[in-house]
Amino acid sequence: MSEDINNLNFKLPEPTLRRLPWYLAYLKLLKDKGEEYVSSTQISKDINVDSSQIAKDLSFINISGKTRVGYEINSLVDVLESFLGFTRTHRAFILGAGSLGSALLHDDGLSQYGLQIVAAFDVNPNKIGKVINGIHVYDIKDLEQFRKDQNVSIGILTVPVDKAQNVADMAIKAGIEAIWNFTPFRIKVPHNIVVQNTSIYAHLAVMFNRLTFQ
């Protein structure tokens, strides 16, 4: 099955990629309840996504339902987990052991989704040498050497906004291939570097606005 997945040698549209984890979360619930099959109509009803959209999204990963019975839940869960990369281990550094960085160090859930945080880095002498939830905080000067020794590809950017570009540049120079940017700053990177922006504070603004004008 993983061979089939490796043959899917293309990038999925981002909206599809973002919906796949919703399907996975829902399907795992059904699996835990002992269900064997589910139709796209049923998925649609339970998670409020159009059923033709679901069928289209799943067809991207070569999954199609069987007439009348629908999708086989167990195999769909396996394919989705594998395709989404949750079954492999991706090694990452936390860049900035401040409030948000420390918060992420406390989230053991990330490892269940394939992200292993192996170390944190900071410039603050009061933070360097600390151990947060079992993860050591090192001097950011040692980033390049650590990265080489530990084969880490992902940097999780949790520095203050005014350091975001500078620390991203350092990480890329050190050999980091993907930056998970939790700052609200739009960093600029070479075209071969992956950037995933996750500004939870921007989501907060959307929610506040909806709450005010609801």
Q: How far apart are CA 158 and CA 96, in angstroms?
A: 5
- Is residue 99 involved in binding a copy of itself (CB under 8 A)? yes
Taking CB under 8 A as the criterion, the residue among 90, 91, 130, 136 binding a copy of itself is: 90
DSSP bridge partners of 157: 95, 181
Are 69 and 42 spatial neighbours (Cβ–Cβ below 8 Å)? no
67 phi and psi angles, rounded to 5 deg: -55, 135
Closer residue to a copy of itself, CB minimum distance, 69 or 200: 200
Closer residue to a copy of itself, CB minimum distance, 70 or 98: 98
DSSP bridge partners of 48: none
- Is residue 39 involved in binding a copy of itself (CB under 8 A)? no
- Is residue 49 involved in binding a copy of itself (CB under 8 A)? yes
DSSP label at residue 33: T
Closer residue to a copy of itself, CB minimum distance, 66 or 111: 111
Q: Which of residues 179-208 bind a copy of itself (CB under 8 A)?
A: 180, 183-186, 188, 192, 194, 196, 198-208
Closer residue to a copy of itself, CB minimum distance, 128 or 181: 181
Taking CB under 8 A as the criterion, the residue among 100, 140, 159, 168 binding a copy of itself is: 100
Per-residue interface string for the shown chain with a copy of itself, residues 154-183, x marking contact by CB under 8 A: x------xx--------------xx-x--x
Q: Which of residues 103-122 bind a copy of itself (CB under 8 A)?
A: 103-110, 113-115
DSSP bridge partners of 38: 71
Stretch that binds a copy of itself, among 51-59, 71-79, 99-107, 136-144 (CB under 8 A): 99-107
Nearest-CA neighbor of 182 among 208, 206, 201? 201
Query: Looking at this protein, which amino acid is placed at residue 127?
Result: K
Q: Which two tokens stand for residue 134?
A: 């079992």
Closer residue to a copy of itself, CB minimum distance, 56 or 208: 208
Helices (H), 61-142: 73-83, 99-105, 109-112
From the CB of residue 182, how many other CB atoms can be counted at a distance below 10 Å?
Answer: 23
Stretch that binds a copy of itself, among 66-74, 82-90, 121-129, 140-148 (CB under 8 A): 82-90
- Is residue 149 involved in binding a copy of itself (CB under 8 A)? no
Q: Which two tokens stand for residue 124?
A: 């603050």
Q: How far apart are CA 140 and CA 95, in angstroms?
A: 8
- Is residue 35 involved in binding a copy of itself (CB under 8 A)? no
